Amino acid sequence: MYIDRAMEKTVLQIQNSFPVLLITGPRQVGKTTMLKRLADENRRYVTLDDPLLRELAVSDPALFLQRFETPIIIDEIQYAPQLLPYIKMQVDKNGRNGDFWLTGSQMFHLMKNASESLAGRVGIVNLLGLANSELTGQSSIPFNINPEDIMRKLKTAKPLKLNEVFARIYRGSMPALYANDNVSTDLFFSSYVQTYLQRDIKDLTQVGDELSFIRFLTCVAARTGQMLNYAEMAKDTGISPPTAKQWLSILVSSGLVALVEPYFNNVLKRMIKSPKMYFLDTGLCAYLTKWTTPEALEFGAMSGAFFETWVVSEIIKSYYNAGKKAPLFYYRDKDQREIDLIIHENNTLYPIEIKKSGNPSKDAIRHFGVLEKTGLNIGNGCVICLASDFLPIDKKNWLVPAWLI
C-alpha cells in the first residue's frame, strides 16, 4: 500500500527547475518508493547498494553514465561521490531539467560533495518519515499560527484521542510499519539499528566500537527534548566529549536527530545557549528506551518528552515537505523562563508551548511576554496540546490540537 507523500508536489517542481534532484533523509523513510511512483516509464532505476554497480560507478564514472542513460534514478549516491563531477559535465552538455534523480542516506558526506560539484544545478530536499497529515490524507503546509489556515484544516482533519496519539508516537513514522499492520515494531527497529550501523556508520565513518555507539544512540534517545550536554552524554556512555560531539553530528547528519538552536538576541542577556535535541522518529526512540507498549509510554515518566518530540518532528516535517528549512528556535534563560518553540519568519516571532494536557491553563503562555524585549514583531502564539478543538486563549494566543499540525 502506497501512502501519498506531501513532498510529491515539491519534487515535481524541483525536477522542472533543476537538472538534478537530490533527496536526502534516513533509511527506510520512502525516498526511493516515492521517486519510483513519480517516475515516467522511461526513467531507469539504478541502486549503488549493488556492489557491482557501485564498483563501476567508483572506478569508472564516465563508463557508468554511458551504460545508464538519462533520465535516471541513482539510489544511495553517497557510495560513489566520484559520479558527481561527471553528472555536472553531462548536465552542462545536455541542459535538460530533471535528468538525474538522486537519493542519499548520509547527508554529512553527501551534502558537501553535491553542493560543491553541482552548485546551481541541484535542488535538494530532505524527506523524513510519514507525517500525521500524510497518514490521515490531509493537505500539508508549513505549520503556522494563522487562525484561517488552522480553521481550514479543522474542517477535514480527523481528531485523535490521547491513546490514539500515543499509539502513533509509539509506532513511529516509518512507512513499512503502516504498509503492514502485522509488522512487529521491535523486530523492525532491531533490524533497522543493525542496518544503520553496518551499512552507513561502519562504511562511512570512523566508529570502531559498535556497542559503545549503540549505548550512545540509546543515551541520546533517553535525552530527547532536553538541552544538549556533551560532557554528561560522554560520562554516561564511557566515551570522551569530543567523541560524543562527533557521534552526535553523525546522528544529525543521518536525519535521525534534530537540534533546535536557542533564539539569540543581543537584548536578551541571560539566555541559555545550548541547543535542544529531538529524535525525529519517536518509534525508534521508544524502541531504544525500552518502552514496550503505547500504554506504558503514555503513562510513563517520559510521556511529556515524547509528546513534545512528536510535535516538534511533525512541525519540522511540515516545512521539509514544502522544500523549506524549519525556522525553529527555543528560548530559555537563567531565570528558568522557557518557550518550547519559536517560529522566526519575516522579522516576526511566533511563540509555541507544547503541553500533554487536554485543557492547559492560561499560565502556559506566561513567558511569551519576554519576547517583547527583542524589538521584533510578536505574532500569534499557541499552546499545542491534546484539546479537542481549536480555541482562543486571548486575542493573540490559541489552543491548537496536536492532530492539526
User: pLDDT tens digit string along 217-255?
Assistant: 999 999 999 999 999 999 999 999 999 998 898 889 888
**158: confidence class by pLDDT, cuts 50, 70, 90:** confident
**Percentage of the chain modeled with pLDDT above 70:** 93
Query: Is residue 257 within a helix (H) or strand (E), and if so which, with residue range?
Result: strand 257-262
User: pLDDT tens digit string along 333-371?
Assistant: 888 889 999 999 999 999 999 999 989 999 999 999 999
What pLDDT is recorded for position 378?
95
2 domain-assigned: no
What pLDDT is recorded for position 327?
96
What pLDDT is recorded for position 221?
97
b/e sequence 120-153, b meaning 16+ C-beta within 10 Å: ebbbbbbbbbbbbbbeeebebbbbbbeeeebeeb
Contacts of 268 (CB under 8 A, 6+ apart): 331, 333, 370, 373, 374
- Say whether both 310 and 344 belong to one domain: yes
* Residue listed under C-alpha cell 534523480: 101
What pLDDT is recorded for position 270?
61
What pLDDT is recorded for position 262?
92
- Say whether both 93 and 173 belong to one domain: no
261 domain-assigned: yes
Query: Residue 24 belongs to what domain range?
Result: 8-126
3 domain-assigned: no
CA distance 202 to 179: 29
What pLDDT is recorded for position 115?
66
Which of 100, 126, 152 corresponds to the end of one domain? 126
- Say whether both 223 and 80 belong to one domain: no
Q: Is the pLDDT of residue 387 over 80?
A: yes
Q: Is the pLDDT of residue 110 over 80?
A: no
**169: confidence class by pLDDT, cuts 50, 70, 90:** very high
63 domain-assigned: yes
Which of 111, 126, 141 corresponds to the end of one domain? 126
Q: Is the pLDDT of residue 117 over 80?
A: no
What pLDDT is recorded for position 403?
92
Arithmetic mean of pLDDT, 37-43: 93
Predicted TM-score (pTM) of this structure: 0.94
DSSP 92-111: HHH--TT-EEEEES-HHHHH
Number of domains within the chain: 2
> Mean of the per-residue pLDDT values for the chain?
91
Arithmetic mean of pLDDT, 32-36: 95
* Residue listed under C-alpha cell 484539546: 387
Q: Is the pLDDT of residue 113 over 70?
A: no
153 domain-assigned: yes
Specify the range with the lowest mean pLDDT, choosing from 38-47, 103-112, 306-315: 103-112
- Say whether both 113 and 195 belong to one domain: no
Arithmetic mean of pLDDT, 375-391: 94
- Say whether both 223 and 88 belong to one domain: no
Name the more confident of 72 and 113: 72
Give bridge partners of residue 153 from the DSSP assignment. Answer: none
**Percentage of the chain modeled with pLDDT above 90:** 72
